[in-house]
């Protein structure tokens, strides 16, 4: 299966991508995670991307196209992949179509997860991540813990630099102006699968799988 998980920051793309990746045994490609790792490791890519990321702005389309092309050549991606955070501009979507054609990868569906803006701001300001396993938690789930509930790492929780209210509002504005046209682009191609993101995590996962099966007419094999 090849899908794009799409939606505003905080809508649950990362959480759903991790669950689906482990249930379906296909890689989760998060462009945000790739860029954060590059920033942390001070690679040339990280140094170039850092300022835009800190300001909540988008990294250039050229950089993103190179990252995705490099990733899709990996052999684990042959049987499928879940894209999280890409494409984010219409130019990225157009270039991505060309890349799919070049790599002879069949067309893919875009799962558009939605939630209202206040819910998103709430979720993002309370978002914490583990710097070892990269799982995401709500602050209230982990505020009295020192160990990560997923991997057991000690004192590994952190808040992303771009999860402050001011930067969150800017990221939501950029989503509306730059990223929404991507949705229109895939809508014109009849490739959008809409999903309500305001529901318990497991329910959203089930709704995504059911909706993809219904749209493609193919049963998805899932492991527990
Ligand atoms: P995310 O974790 O997906 O919210 O991404 C964090 C930040 O990485 C974004 O605010 C952008 O600065 C950058 N980024 C991630 N994916 C892309 C993309 N497809 N195009 C441009 N910038 C991106």
pLDDT digits (tens, 9 = 90+) for 50-103: 999 998 899 999 999 999 999 998 888 888 999 999 999 999 999 999 999 998
Whether residue 174 is contained in a domain is answered as: no
CA distance 139 to 167: 18
The total number of structural domains that make up the chain: 1
Pairing outcome for strands 127-130 and 136-138: antiparallel
Q: Residue 224: pLDDT above 70?
A: no
Whether residue 83 is contained in a domain is answered as: yes
What interhelical angle do 44-54 and 31-40 show, nearest 10?
Answer: 110
CATH of the domain at 209: 3.40.50.300
Expressed as residue numbers, the domain containing 205 is 2-115+179-216
Whether residue 210 is contained in a domain is answered as: yes
Q: How confident is the model at residue 16 (pLDDT cuts 50, 70, 90)?
A: very high
Whether residue 91 is contained in a domain is answered as: yes
Whether residue 127 is contained in a domain is answered as: no
Q: What is the pLDDT of residues 133-145, one digit of tens each?
A: 988 999 999 999 9
Residues flanking ligand 1, CB < 6 Å: 9, 31-32, 35, 52-53, 56-59, 64, 85-86, 88, 92, 162, 171
Whether the CB-CB separation of 23 and 80 falls below 8 Å is answered with no
Whether residue 70 is contained in a domain is answered as: yes
Q: How far apart are the first and last CA of the chain?
A: 17
Is 13 part of the annotated catalytic residue set?
Answer: yes
Whether residue 121 is contained in a domain is answered as: no
- Candidate list 160, 169, 170, 215, residue with the active-site label: 160
């Amino acid at each position: 299966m090849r899908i794009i998980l799409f939606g505003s920051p905080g809508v649950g793309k990362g959480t759903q991508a991790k669950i689906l990746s482990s249930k379906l045994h296909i890689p989760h490609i998060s462009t945000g995670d790739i860029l954060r790792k590059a920033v942390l490791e001070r690679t040339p890519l990280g140094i170039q991307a850092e300022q835009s990321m800190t300001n909540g702005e988008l990294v250039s389309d050229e950089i993103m196209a190179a990252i995705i092309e490099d990733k899709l050549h990996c052999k684990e991606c042959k049987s499928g992949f879940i894209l999280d955070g890409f494409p984010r501009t219409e130019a990225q979507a157009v270039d991505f179509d060309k890349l799919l054609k070049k790599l002879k990868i069949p067309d893919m569906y875009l799962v558009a997860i939605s939630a209202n803006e206040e819910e998103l701001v709430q979720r993002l300001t309370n978002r914490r991540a583990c710097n070892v396993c990269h799982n995401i938690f709500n602050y209230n789930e982990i505020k009295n813990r020192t160990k990560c509930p997923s991997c057991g790492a000690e004192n590994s929780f952190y808040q992303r630099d771009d999860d402050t209210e001011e930067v969150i509002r800017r990221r939501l504005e950029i989503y509306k102006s730059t990223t929404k046209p991507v949705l229109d682009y895939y809508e014109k191609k009849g490739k959008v699968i809409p999903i309500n993101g305001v529901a318990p995590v497991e329910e959203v996962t089930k709704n995504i799988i059911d909706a993809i099966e219904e749209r493609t007419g193919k049963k998805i094999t899932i492991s527990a």
